[in-house]
Amino acid sequence: MQNFTFYNPTKILFGQGKTACCGEMTLPWGKRVLLLYGQGSVKKNGILGQVKNSLAAVGITWVELGGVRPNPVLSFVNTAIQRFRQEQLEAIVAVGGGSVIDTAKAIAAGVCYAGDVWDFFCGKAEVTAAVPITTVLTLAGTGSEMNGGAVITKEETQEKYNLRGEVLYPKVSILDPTNTFTVPRQHSMYGAVDAIVHVLEAYFNASDPHLPIQDRLIEGLLHTIMEAAKIIFEQPEHYEARANLMWCATLALNGLPTAGTGNTGFPMHLIEHSLSAMYDISHGAGLAIVAPAWMKYAEEIAPRKFAQFAQRIFGIDEGKERERALAGIQALEHWFATLQAPIRLAEANIPAADIPKIAENARRLAVVWDMPEYTCEVIESILKRAGT
């Protein structure tokens, strides 16, 4: 295990009925807030109304701003930054999933910065100040409710990049599993895929070869996510399954799975960002395509960990090491398919002929992320595995 510093200041309020606490949890950070949400489902299901009632009860006023897209974009962020400044607001209340929370973080950083907020995403500036954020989570998957990162797409260049900063951790995140009951089944399943791939990045890409604590933590999260997703697929209002998926997804990207792992790359996310930036597909759908393809590429180089994954997650014991590794990857791919997630580029209407331009787009992000081993040739070879 490598040396590490674990830092996570976000306060979590977990459980049924906790949405009503939004007002009192937000009050220490401001009395005039930007109330941010997505495409309007939180209006229809009553969650936004609960949040408004809670804010009003403690004297907080708000400026309402909806319309965050599932793949959030820079133009919306820039508009919201100007609105925040014009209205002289003090904090942000983000009601939604990862796209809304990521947008809130970009706004929070941009409000406190005199330059172009995109500077944070392309490495030209560091986030050193941000307005406070509280969140009410409505979709389990990204883990953005308990970390300091965010991902946004710049539409003109089709670049889907991330920013990070300690000041971007939400002050408080409210995790009420009942708020996910009305999420469409497919989006719930894509959230499960996203959480799974978050921990698989740490599992397969850690620089330290001996991580028994982290391995067992990740394997436990994987088993629980898969069990919960199977139940939710059939019973969308199963409270315990929703609660387990919600907390697992939060733990998957709150810093614990990567603590002590050393330098850990995220190559599956690196490649997927190009798919969702260029074709506007769901992030979870893109990961279901990319993850098995990347695993097939990576196991050829170092099959040991993939064989361990096959044994501990799917109980595959027979065959030589590489045979077990491949069988485990195929089992995961099949599991994604049972969730009705795409596992081939064609299933997401992405032409195989586009692979070179997808690879070039991903290579630009590989430069930003300092992953020079992911050349266009390597990325193309991975994507070709997703096309057959």
What is the predicted pLDDT for the residue at 241?
Answer: 98
What is the predicted pLDDT for the residue at 209?
Answer: 81
Long-range contacts of 327-331 (CB under 8 A, 24+ apart): 329/292, 329/295, 329/296, 329/299, 330/292
What is the predicted pLDDT for the residue at 388?
Answer: 65
What tokens were used for 3?
């040396």
Pairwise CA distance, residues 189 & 342, whole Å: 11
User: What is the arithmetic mean of pLDDT over 51-58?
Assistant: 98
pLDDT range class, residue 263, cuts 50, 70, 90: confident
- Classify domain 185-385 at the CATH class level: mainly alpha
pLDDT digits (tens, 9 = 90+) for 141-172: 999 999 999 999 999 999 999 999 999 999 99
**Could you tell me the pTM of the whole model?**
0.96
pLDDT range class, residue 337, cuts 50, 70, 90: very high
Q: What is 11-179's CATH topology?
A: Rossmann fold (3.40.50)
Task: Delimit the CATH 1.20.1090.10 region(s) of the chain.
Answer: 185-385
* CA dihedral sign, ordered 379, 383, 384, 386: positive
**Which DSSP symbol is given to 59?**
T
Task: Delimit the CATH 3.40.50.1970 region(s) of the chain.
Answer: 11-179
pLDDT digits (tens, 9 = 90+) for 354-373: 999 999 999 999 999 999 99
User: What is the arithmetic mean of pLDDT over 45-50?
Assistant: 96
What tokens were used for 87?
């209205």
Q: How many CA atoms lie within 13 A of 116 on its CB side?
A: 9
